[in-house]
Chain A
Amino acid sequence: MEPSTSTHAHHPPQSFLSKYVFSSDHKVVGIQYTLTGLAMAAVGGFLAYVFRYNLAYPGSPIPLFGELSAQQYNEFVTCHGLIMVLWVAMPVIISGLGNLLIPIQIGTDDMAFPTLNMMSYWVFLLSCIILLASFFVPGGSAAGGWTMYPPLSANAYHNTNPDFWTALFSGNSLVIIALALEFVSMLMGGINFIVTTINKRAPGMTPMRVPVVVWMLNIASVMFMFAVGPVFAGAVLLLLDNVIGTGFYDPARGGDPILFEHLFWFFGHPEVYVLLLPSLGVIAEIISVFSRKPIFAYKTIIYLSLVSAVLSVMVWAHHQFVSGIDPRMATFFSVGTIIISIPFAGIFLSYMATLWGGSIRFTVPMLWAIGFIGVFLIGGLTGLFLGSNTFDIYVHGTYFVIAHFHYTLFPIVFLGFFAAFYFWFPKFTGKTLNVTLGKLHFWLTFFSFNGTFFVLFFNGLAGQHRRINDYTLFPSIMQEPYITFQKVATISAIILILSQFIFLFNFIYSLIKGKKAVNNPWNSSTLEWQTDSPPPHGNFHTYPVVYHGAYDYSMPEMKEVDFVPQNLPLEKKTI
């Protein structure tokens, strides 16, 4: 089909409501997802502050909160985990970035199904509201750990709430319902991403000319769709166990709790890679632009991502080495887990190789990107300890695991997001951010994050087990240096949370008072930078035609500038 040259096939929305609230424009939906995700991050961060304070100073009242009971402690650690993974990471990294970037980077006006896209956001918002409501029902929210292992989260819970309506509106059931709605929303988003990328690429945008981040978002969406079915079924069975007292996970009636662990982790592990890949894509864009070099081994990175996507659905049981699965099966999953380090090592080394021979500019997004690689490196390498089934016998369920997955998920979700935020903010708002505040935000976040979680590796190696609100009964933990380490972690975590106010200030201040951004502040060659900042409704004034790859920087023939926009032929490389 020959596209029309004008993108204004229909009128842009006029009223405030249809323009900014009930909008089907991919940019507005992306911004809505991002802001909702950040608001949820504030909730998740506050929960973290409360229980971290409690861990450093057990028993003393918590400023801005008060006394924390054991039940509330369990609720808070549970909901912190759920919120951060499913209501922050997913909307910000997948839906936010995917909606903002995919249509504009492939050179089209909107998603393939704009209305479905809008609906996916509203279903997501509904799931947020149901989740938050779960805190305010009698008995409080879910408190069985974010992994929600039955029977604790199922029959044990149902036995105390045998009445149907009480059980349906209990915190536990509400969380499961919210979870299911969230999956529905992400599925609607994911199908949109894939169809849009396959069908709506600009003429000349061949698969191997698509920016890495679009590739990664699509691979992640496919992985998500592949993995989400079992956990969705698992969640429905869990809800039935909760509400009408079925026995899917009750051994007394022929059920099996291990079944849920498999269904959960079959999704839960690929989920980490679902988040990692888009974040890696963001880093690829940034490193390439600010090294003024093509991303090293573009095609190999794509192939390695595909390999890792396939491997990632074959390693889930490494979360269950001590669950009582067959020991011979554990060996298989251990080998798989350790092998998955190979494609990711290839990707990360390619990123580092991109820096070699470049002409590096230390902009704010570049700082976040470098920080991402450095921090994720520790997360990845400590994964070797946990991937080894034998050593996992000792550290499973300890603070070592906590430190490890925060070293992977924090860079993925926050460092990756902030890199993207500082990079694309000028494009999508038309305003420039304050550079000094951006750098201050980076350094404070970087050091306080490491201060929070690095010490916890040692607590984990000392055998400190998780999800305990008060360690007074455990003399092996109530000794130096582990008490001090808990305090260091708490104080750093408070600094980490406070430094985000710099970001908030910079965000709001720049939005109102920031200098007007130029169309292409970073001299980038991808399509989103070749239109207005912010892009008009329909993204482009005329549909772009693509002539070459996304990363043709510093080609030897280029004289005055070192890049050519993707929508200009390479022959114009001397402009």
Chain B
Amino acid sequence: MFLFRVFPDNISTYGQEIDDLFWLIFLFASIAFVISVFLLLYPLYKYHHKKAPKAQYITGEKKTHFKWVTIAVVLLALSDFAIMFAEHGTWAKIEQDPVTADLQIAVTGRQWNWIFTYPGKDGKLYTADDVMIDDQNSELHVPVNKNIVFDLKSRDVVHSFFLKNVRLKQDAIPGRTLKRWFNCTKEGKYEIVCSEICGVLHSQMRNWLVVDSQENFDNYLNSLYTNNKPKQ
């Protein structure tokens, strides 16, 4: 369609549904656009005062006149509801329906990087042996094809946790803990950004999402356990 790719690589189980939704809305919007531009430009040509020196007296108050507008509006309303119908399942999947967590972690925003907390050897979050990574440029390692459920928090101001390739975005609000999830289908290294202005170094707030095979991930976690002191 275009000379370049519209979206960055999709690596999540639900990302494709969001991309498809874009193309569905794009289809409706394009049809509406083409029809509207025609309705706008054609009369400018056809009823130019040189061709049509006298205008017709149409008030539009009669039903026979207004029916054309009604038909167009009804068509628009139908496409509106088609969009709502198409999207509600995806919304529920991403935001509402509970998933079984293969790995539970915590992500905390601070000025100006993301903090990642993994459960310790007991496999449980919020216990004494949790491992916390708090560095600019640090990496969030996750295993491929696993449901990652995370608690999103903020220490200071509003941040927004944005994984472009996963198609997931969620504001991190101080004082609240929000639970979201994702499941990556492709190994690789991807950007994690903050998409809500959070102070002077907002532009430098960037970490990495690294999707590993299960084996590499286990090795990574073990190296964390041996290298990092547990959280106090």
Contact = CB atoms under 8 A, between A and B. Distances in A.
Given A324-B173, A349-B69, A360-B47, A296 B203 contact: no
B52 A358 contact: yes
Contacts of A327: 91-92, 95-96
Interface stretch (B114-122, B124-132, B192-200, B211-219): B192-200
A260 B95 CA distance: 23
A553 B169 contact: no
Contacts of A151: 156-158, 174
A370 interface: yes
B43 A360 contact: yes
Interface string B42-61: 01100111001111111111
A156 B174 CA distance: 12
A504 interface: no
Given A151-B174, A349-B72, A474 B193 contact: yes
Interface stretch (A106-114, A179-187, A338-346, A540-548): A338-346
Contacts of A342: 73, 76-77, 80
Contacts of B21: 388, 390-391
Nearest to B93: A390
Interface stretch (A117-125, A219-227, A297-305, A405-413): A297-305
**Which among A74, A322, A335, A470 has the highest number of chain B CB atoms within 10 Å?**
A322
B204 to A, nearest CB: 6
B202 A322 contact: no
Given A152-B199, A338-B84, A359-B49, A252 B175 contact: yes
Contact of A394 (B47, B58, B169): B169
B220 to A, nearest CB: 22
A519 interface: no
Interface string B176-212: 1010000000000001011111111111101000000
A381 B30 CA distance: 9
B166 to A, nearest CB: 9
A251 B176 CA distance: 8
Contacts of A536: none
Nearest to A389: B91
Nearest to B72: A349
A39 to B, nearest CB: 27
Nearest to B45: A360
Interface stretch (A434-442, A443-451, A459-467): A459-467
A201 interface: no
A348 interface: yes
B224 interface: no
Contacts of B87: 334, 388-391
Contact of A257 (B44, B77, B175): B175
B49 A361 contact: yes
Given A294-B60, A358-B47, A397 B8 contact: no
B95 A330 contact: yes
Contacts of B39: 349, 352
Contact of A393 (B58, B65, B94): B94
B200 A74 contact: yes
Given A291-B55, A391-B25, A467-B197, A357 B83 contact: no
Interface in A462-480: 462-463, 465-471, 473-476, 480
Contacts of A71: 200
Contacts of A374: 37, 40
A192 B157 CA distance: 41
The interface size bin for chain B is 35 or more
B133 interface: no
Nearest to A159: B156
Contacts of B146: none
A296 B162 contact: no
Interface in A290-321: 291-300
Contacts of B199: 74, 152, 156
The interface size bin for chain A is 35 or more
B202 A74 contact: yes
A481 interface: yes
Contacts, number: 279
B10 to A, nearest CB: 10
Contact of B173 (A258, A466, A555): A258
Interface string A249-278: 001100111100000000000000000000
B43 A390 contact: no
Contact of B197 (A74, A251, A461): A74
A398 interface: yes
Contacts of A556: 57
A144 interface: yes
Interface in B56-111: 56-61, 65-66, 68-69, 72-73, 76-77, 80, 83-84, 87-88, 90-92, 94-96
Contacts of B158: 149-152, 257
A491 interface: no
B164 A257 contact: no
B29 A384 contact: yes
Nearest to A292: B55
Given A152-B198, A345-B76, A293 B170 contact: no
Interface in A146-190: 149-152, 156
A562 B28 CA distance: 40
A322 B55 contact: no
Contact of A466 (B4, B80, B84, B195): B195
Given A152-B199, A467-B197, A475 B22 contact: no
Interface in A550-567: 553-556, 562
Contact of B59 (A296, A361, A396): A296
A175 to B, nearest CB: 15
Given A293-B55, A324-B173, 13 more contacts: A149-B196, A251-B176, A292-B49, A324-B178, A349-B39, A357-B56, A359-B47, A359-B52, A360-B49, A390-B90, A397-B195, A466-B195, A467-B202
8 contacts: A292-B55, A296-B59, A355-B44, A359-B55, A390-B88, A397-B162, A466-B195, A476-B164
The 10 residue pairs across chains A and B that have the minimum distance between CB atoms: A251-B175, A296-B60, A297-B60, A463-B164, A465-B195, A357-B56, A327-B95, A397-B195, A355-B43, A554-B55
Interface of B: 2-4, 6-8, 17-18, 21-22, 25-26, 28-29, 32-33, 36-37, 39-40, 43-44, 47-49, 52-61, 65-66, 68-69, 72-73, 76-77, 80, 83-84, 87-88, 90-92, 94-96, 156-158, 160, 162, 164, 167-171, 173-176, 178, 191, 193-204, 206
Interface of A: 70-71, 74, 143-145, 149-152, 156, 251-252, 255-258, 291-300, 322-324, 327-328, 330-331, 334-335, 338-339, 341-342, 345-346, 348-350, 352-362, 370, 373-374, 377-378, 381-382, 384-385, 388-391, 393-394, 396-398, 458, 461-463, 465-471, 473-476, 480-481, 553-556, 562
